[in-house]
Amino acid sequence: MDTRQQNALKKAKNFIKLLSCFSLLAAPLLSAVGWGISHDSLSSLFDLNLFHQAKNRAFYLSPTSDPALIFRYFLLPHYFLYASMPLYIASTITITNFTYKIAPWTSFIGAILSIIGSVYFIGVLGAYLSAPLGSVSMTGIIQLSFVLCLLLFVGNILLGISLYRNRVNSKWTSALFILGNSLILTFPGIENWMTLGSLCMLFPMYQLSRRLYEEIDFNR
């Protein structure tokens, strides 16, 4: 391999690592924003009650509501979630690359489940974003897709276990990653708990992205 090819390969690897760093941070951040802004106040967002579901503003919308309110409390939050899903796929591949040597089966199964869940999440969000508010019929395939969406967070828990076993991150941040995804699985559809779960994922993903960033060779 000549010098030009080596430089091209080096630039490609650096670019992939930069994209990986971005996806690790942006995926949980975008989902946290998407779930968080469906509430109109911090007091509503952090009404973390185990025994009732805090209602977000989208709950009170109807097809005849003000279009500005529909955009603010229904469409805009879903746009953020829609944008986060491809980044979850990229972050899954990145985590697997760090963990597969020590925990190959846990990493592999976790990656497959996370990718499947992300793909179905994209499909469900696409259905809701492409139709007027309240017009999506809860057919059998939509209901099944809702269930399959949760595989994203099941897979992430397995990846968190792989991170914990590999000690890629500190143990407490790997445990925080597991906790964040467990919260989302425990309280599906309750946006304030899901926001908290996404925020929990930010800490371990920051630690992992910083480690990956330090591996980038910026020297020509």
pLDDT tens-digit profile of 64-75? 788 888 888 889
Look at residue 98 and tell me if it is in a domain: yes
Residue owning tokens 């259905």: 127
Specify the DSSP class assigned to residue 191. H
Q: Are 159 and 95 in contact (CB under 8 A)?
A: yes
pLDDT of residue 199: 95
Is 143 domain-assigned? yes
Residue 91 placed within a domain: yes
| Within-domain flag for 46 | no
Integer Cα distance of 165 and 103 in angstroms: 7
Q: CA neighbours within 13 Å on the CB side: how many for 214?
A: 6
Going by the DSSP 8-state scheme, the letter that residue 186 receives in this structure is H
With respect to residue 56, please indicate whether it lies within any of the assigned structural domains. no
- Residue 55: what pLDDT? 63
Task: Say what the pLDDT of residue 44 is.
Answer: 67
| Residue 115 clears pLDDT 70, i.e. is over it | yes
pLDDT tier at 83, thresholds 50, 70, 90:
very high
| Residue at 1 is within a domain | no
For range 69-83, the mean pLDDT: 92
pLDDT the model gives residue 50: 62
| DSSP states along 46-105 | T---SSSPPPPGGGG--TTS-HHHHIIIIIHHHHHHHHHHHHHHHHHHHHHHHHTTTSHH
Render the burial of 197-218: b for 16+ CB within 10 Å, e for the rest: bbbbbbbbbbbbbeebeeebee
Q: What is the mean pLDDT of the chain?
A: 88
Q: Which residues of 154-183 are buried (b: 16+ CB within 10 A; e: fewer)?
A: bbbbbbbbbbbebebbeeebbbbbbbbbbb
Q: What is the pLDDT of residues 17-53, one digit of tens each?
A: 999 999 999 999 999 999 988 877 666 666 766 655 6
- Is residue 43 assigned to a domain? no
Q: Which of 5-14, 137-146, 154-163, 207-216 has the lowest mean pLDDT?
A: 5-14
Domain that holds residue 173: 11-38+61-215
In the chain, the number of structural domains is: 1
Whole-number Å distance between alpha carbons of 190 and 199: 15
Does any domain span residue 47?
Answer: no
Q: What is the pTM of this model?
A: 0.90
